[in-house]
Each structure stands twice: as C-alpha cells, then as structure tokens.
Amino acid sequence: MNWEEIYKKIETKLTAECIRNNEKIPYIVKNGVYNNMLEENPSWWTNGFWAGLLWQMYHASKNPLFRENAEQSERVMDQILESFMGLHHDVGFQFLLTSAANYRLTGNEQAKVRALHAATILAGRFNPNGGFIRAWNAKNGNDMTGWVIIDCLMNLPLLHFAESQLHDPRFTQIANCHADTAMRVLQRPDGSCDHIAILNPVTGEVMEKPGGQGYGEGSSWSRGQAWAIYGFALAFAHTGNMAYLDAAKRTAHYFIANVALSGNLSLSDFRAPKDPVYWDMSAAACAACGLLELADIVPEFEKELYYQHAECILEALTSCCDFDPQKDGILQTCTASYGRPEDMHASIIYGDYFYTEAVLRLLKKNFLIW
C-alpha cells in the first residue's frame, strides 16, 4: 500500500475539518458531522485527541493551520484545569496531547505549565497502600476510590514528562508503582487483560473485577488490550524495565492471534458471543501504534514481527476509512463500549488519532507525543 498517498488523503481531509470545526472539540460523528464537546462536556476524557491529531499533522506538514487549531483547542482547555472537579486519571489523554505536545514542538512555556499542573493532579490520585492511581471520581452514588483500569497505562507518560522537566523522581515512582499493579491485577497469564479491578483502597486487596466496557466479567475488551500493548511498551521506553516490555509482548501476541481470525480487524470484545457482531476499529488502530512502538524498541531480530503485523492491521483498517473531505471522521466502525448504541459503529476522534499516528509512524513523520 502507498502510505504516502494515504497521508495526502488524511492531510486533505483534516485541512477541510479544521476549517469546518475550528470552534469545536470533536468527539463523535453523527450524520457526517462532528459534535462539540466544548458545549456538551468540557471535561470529557477524549478532549485532547483533536489537538493531538493536529499537532501530529503540524509536525509532519508544517502547515500553520494545524498549529493554530491545536493552540485554540488547548486554550479552551484552561477552564478544565480551573474547574478541577471534573478531572480524573485521564488528564494524561487531555494534556499530553495538547499542552505537552505544544511545549515539545514550540517551546511554549505556558503550555508546559499546563502539562505540569495536570501531572500534579494525576500524581495526587495515587493510592500508596494499593500502589495505584485511582480511576474515575464517584459516579451515580458509587464509591470508586479503589478502582483501577487498564486505560490508565496510557496516562502515565504525563508523569514521565513531569519528571523530565522537574527532575523529581516521585513522578516516575508513581508511574512505575501503577504499572506494576496493572501487571499484577489486570493482566492475565495468557496476555489478555481485565478492564477494571476494584481494590480495597486501604489494603490494596483485589475485591472484584467487573466487565467494564467489555461484554462482561472475564471477557476481553479489545481496546483495553490495545491500551495494554501501547501502555506497557511506553512504560518500557521510559524506564528500561524489561518486565514492562515482556508484558507488552504478551498482550501484543494475544491481540495479533485474535485479529488474525477476523481479517486483522478488531471485534469490540474478543470473548463476546459470536452473535451479534460488534466491531471496534479504534482498538486495532491503537494496537498498531503499540506494535510499531515495540518494533522500535525490541532487538533487531524481533522488529519485523511487530512491524509487519502493524502494517497488516493498518492495511485492513484503511478499507474502513472515509477520506471524503466533505464529511467529518476518517476511521469508521469504532465502538466506545460494547453494545452501547449511542457510540457504537461510529467515527470517533481517538480512532482517527491512532490511525493517523500509525500512518505517520510508517512514514517516519510522527513525533512521540507520549
């Protein structure tokens, strides 16, 4: 496949989307048009992905339109930091992809301050007895003080960013403690992962493992597996701890084996009933990024294994893309949560982000936003 041609299609489409959506923070496409999370929920966990996508494209193309839109999106995120109460473990997704990316590419000092502020909030959610970063805040009257989720691995690079800027080892210590706990309580011996573990917040004892966004208890939510591949690979990249590399490989091999049964496309849950069939292409896109990260960090004799599987997944995903610049959203058939109608089989912003990052990785035009 000619990835340079695919990149040009992405560039054309995102240029049109920037012009159309310059006052939005997009999340999901309905009838060909992005919604606006700035109006619906300014603290929503995905609100950094639009800017992250634009920073990747600015780095690749140097088109100032992408930078201008990314900076505008970041500025409106200031209100999220000020409100505080809506923030939780996903400040990494929100501010790595906006403020930390901005600082790394432009040297903007105010962007660095935003990212460090967010990192301090993330570190403040650390439970030292359990060795984990608490996930969500209380919701619908539920106490969630002991909740640990696989997604949080992808937020840990914000702590590594803070350590690199402040030279304060507590940030990396917290990140490593959480990654160790994720290996112990969320990753299974076969490489599959639970989405959620509920721990006793005083003792750290595992009390329950609900199904979360997958089919149910004991199932295998595909995007959770993708978070684990990329998250553990990044943990190794930041620390050199071989245990994290081994964890990333275990889940990578599990993911590769499962998508091989479905044309390199990802079901929403690998252990769900055969009928009905629910897909989540965003899981495959994120996994492809994780596999390409593995290809960068493993010894030479292993690189092709991960690189070729990533490229096979991306080739399959390209058949699921809509490059029409008149409509919003690139990667189609993404699903936020198994069987939930309102955000199932749609184009979702993080699907576009990971697909684009992976294509840019193949072309050596990306920068490591994590």
Give the separation between CA 114 and CA 117, rounded to whole angstroms: 5
Assess whether pLDDT exceeds 80 at residue 85.
yes
- pLDDT at residue 255, rounded to an integer: 98
86: Cα within 13 Å, side-chain hemisphere:
14
- pLDDT at residue 348, rounded to an integer: 98
Give the separation between CA 167 and CA 184, rounded to whole angstroms: 28
Mean of the pLDDT values across residues 202-206? 96
Mean of the pLDDT values across residues 242-257? 98
Mean of the pLDDT values across residues 111-139? 96
Tokens matching residue 231 = 């998250």
- pLDDT at residue 146, rounded to an integer: 97
Torsion sign across C-alpha atoms 65, 27, 212, 263: negative
- Which of 70-84, 225-239, 322-336 shows the lowest mean pLDDT across its residues? 70-84
- The angle formed by the CA atoms of residues 313, 317 and 321, to the nearest 5 degrees, is 165
pLDDT category at 76 given cuts 50, 70, 90 is confident
Q: Which of 90, 269, 280, 352 is catalytic?
A: 90
Query: Are the beta carbons of 90 and 138 closer than 8 angstroms?
Result: no
Question: Residues 281-322: pLDDT tens digits?
Answer: 999 999 999 999 999 999 999 999 999 999 999 999 999 999
pLDDT category at 30 given cuts 50, 70, 90 is very high
Mean of the pLDDT values across residues 190-202? 97
pLDDT category at 79 given cuts 50, 70, 90 is confident
Residue in 180, 88, 172 with CA at minimum distance from that of residue 130: 180
Q: Is 90 a catalytic residue?
A: yes
Question: Residues 324-348: pLDDT tens digits?
Answer: 999 999 999 999 999 999 999 999 9
Higher pLDDT, 84 or 194: 194
Assess whether pLDDT exceeds 90 at residue 127.
yes
Q: Report CA-CA distances (Å) from 126 to 143, 226, 258, 353.
A: 16, 23, 33, 28
Assess whether pLDDT exceeds 80 at residue 139.
no
Mean of the pLDDT values across residues 219-248? 98
pLDDT category at 77 given cuts 50, 70, 90 is confident
Domains of the chain: 3-362 (1.50.10.10)
pTM reported for the whole predicted model: 0.98
Give the separation between CA 220 and CA 194, rounded to whole angstroms: 7
Radius of gyration of the chain (CA): 19
- Average pLDDT over the chain reads 97
Q: Is 78 a catalytic residue?
A: no
Q: Which of 143, 151, 296, 328 is catalytic?
A: 151
- pLDDT at residue 5, rounded to an integer: 98
Mean of the pLDDT values across residues 65-92? 92
Assess whether pLDDT exceeds 90 at residue 82.
no
Assess whether pLDDT exceeds 90 at residue 18.
yes
Mean of the pLDDT values across residues 115-128? 98
- pLDDT at residue 358, rounded to an integer: 98
